[in-house]
Amino acid sequence: MTDAKPIDIVSLYPKDMNIYGDSGNVLVVRRRLELRGYEARIHAYNQGDRWPDHVDLILGGGGQDTGQKKIIRDFFERAELLRSLASDGVPMLMICGLYQLFGEYFETVDGSRLDGIGVIGAYTVGRDVRMIGNLVEHSDDFGDVIGYENHSGQTFLREGVSPLGRVDQDGRGNNGEDHTEGARVNNVIGTYMHGSLLPKNPAIADFLIRTAAERRYGSFEDQGDDAMRAELARLDVAAAEARRVAAS
Ligand code: GLN
């Protein structure tokens, strides 16, 4: 489609921050945008790269402590920009390692401390027992959310910060203690959910897409044809089935 409206998406540090399939989130956003008739422009941003001229949506993945240490300098050079985009309402999804660095700090299990950029009022302390396994939570905004967690960091939300959801059954969530998982600040979602998250949780994908389109164009219009709508419906059935299996 030649007259498709572009949506500019930054994939943040895909070289170092992309484990347990987090790049799948980028593929889902691209696909769901294209099936609505938009043009998805993906900008992979790694250390030292030029920042794109226009940004509608930012997606970041998880990473080992070593990956987090590799990106931290460059990340701080972008901190002010990321903070101002977040407060302007740009939708963002930050998984695990980048969720931690969007908080105030991450004290790793070896005792070193990585400062975060403070978009999310939360701090993280590494411990020697990793929190690993399937994760099911209930979110007021998105219903049941399913995924997989693997982290050493225990994250604690500051007073008044909303979690993405509550973990009542499987999984540990932010810290294994207070039943919270993830965080939501403005249109920024932070979460420990890998899996990848978005193929199985299309409600979150559509929130990100819709918010990005509305901010840029004033509205979100489904410009797809019947075949595209049928394909979206097929993807939603597959996601519902995956969710049913995971939650059972
Ligand atoms: N390195 C961080 C931790 O272990 C994040 C891990 C991840 O992104 N899965 O807590």
145 CA distance to ligand 1 centroid (A)?
19
Pairwise CA distance, residues 20 & 14, whole Å: 12
Q: What one-character-per-residue DSSP string does the chain give?
A: -TTPPEEEEEEE-TTTS--TTTHHHHHHHHHHHHTTT-EEEEEEE-TTPPPPS--SEEEE----HHHHHHHHHHHHHTHHHHHHHHHTT--EEEEHHHHHHHSSEEE-TTS-EEE---SSSEEEEEEEEEEEEEEEEEETTTEEEEEEEEEEEEEEEPTTPBPSEE-SSS--TTTSSS-EE-EEETTEEEE--BS-HHHH-HHHHHHHHHHHHHHHHSS------HHHHHHHHHHHHHHHHHHHHHH-
Atom index in ligand 1 nearest the CA of residue 20 equals 9
Residues designated as active site: 96, 194
For residue 96 and ligand 1, the question of a CB distance below 6 A is answered with: yes
For residue 61 and ligand 1, the question of a CB distance below 6 A is answered with: no
131 CA distance to ligand 1 centroid (A)?
10
**Ligand 1, pocket-test mutation among 150, 155, 191, 197, most atoms within 8 A of CB:** 150
With a cut of 90, say whether residue 171 has pLDDT above it.
no
Over the range 73-94, which residues count as b (16 or more CB within 10 Å of their CB) and which as e?
Answer: ebbeebbeebeebbeeebbbbb
Q: CA 132 from chain center: how many Å? A: 18
129 CA distance to ligand 1 centroid (A)?
12
**Cβ–Cβ under 8 Å, residues 157 and 165:** no
For residue 172 and ligand 1, the question of a CB distance below 6 A is answered with: no
**182: nearest Cα among 92, 95, 87, 75:** 95
Lowest mean pLDDT among 95-104, 203-212, 237-246: 237-246
**Location of structure tokens 């939603």:** 236
For residue 63 and ligand 1, the question of a CB distance below 6 A is answered with: yes
Q: 130 labelled as ligand-binding?
A: yes
With a cut of 80, say whether residue 32 has pLDDT above it.
yes
For residue 147 and ligand 1, the question of a CB distance below 6 A is answered with: no
Atom index in ligand 1 nearest the CA of residue 96 equals 8
Here the tokens at position 240 are 């519902």
Task: Count CB neighbours of 152 within 10 A.
Answer: 18
pLDDT digits (tens, 9 = 90+) for 68-80: 999 999 999 999 9
For residue 131 and ligand 1, the question of a CB distance below 6 A is answered with: no
**115: nearest Cα among 174, 158, 72, 67:** 72
With a cut of 70, say whether residue 1 has pLDDT above it.
no
Pairwise CA distance, residues 15 & 198, whole Å: 20
Partners of residue 184 on adjacent β-strands:
162, 189
pLDDT digits (tens, 9 = 90+) for 201-217: 999 999 999 999 999 99
65 CA distance to ligand 1 centroid (A)?
6
| Nearest CA, atom 5, ligand 1 | 97
| Nearest CA, atom 6, ligand 1 | 151
**Cβ–Cβ under 8 Å, residues 92 and 59:** yes
With a cut of 80, say whether residue 2 has pLDDT above it.
no
- Interface ipTM: 0.95
Per the prediction, the chain carries an average pLDDT of 96
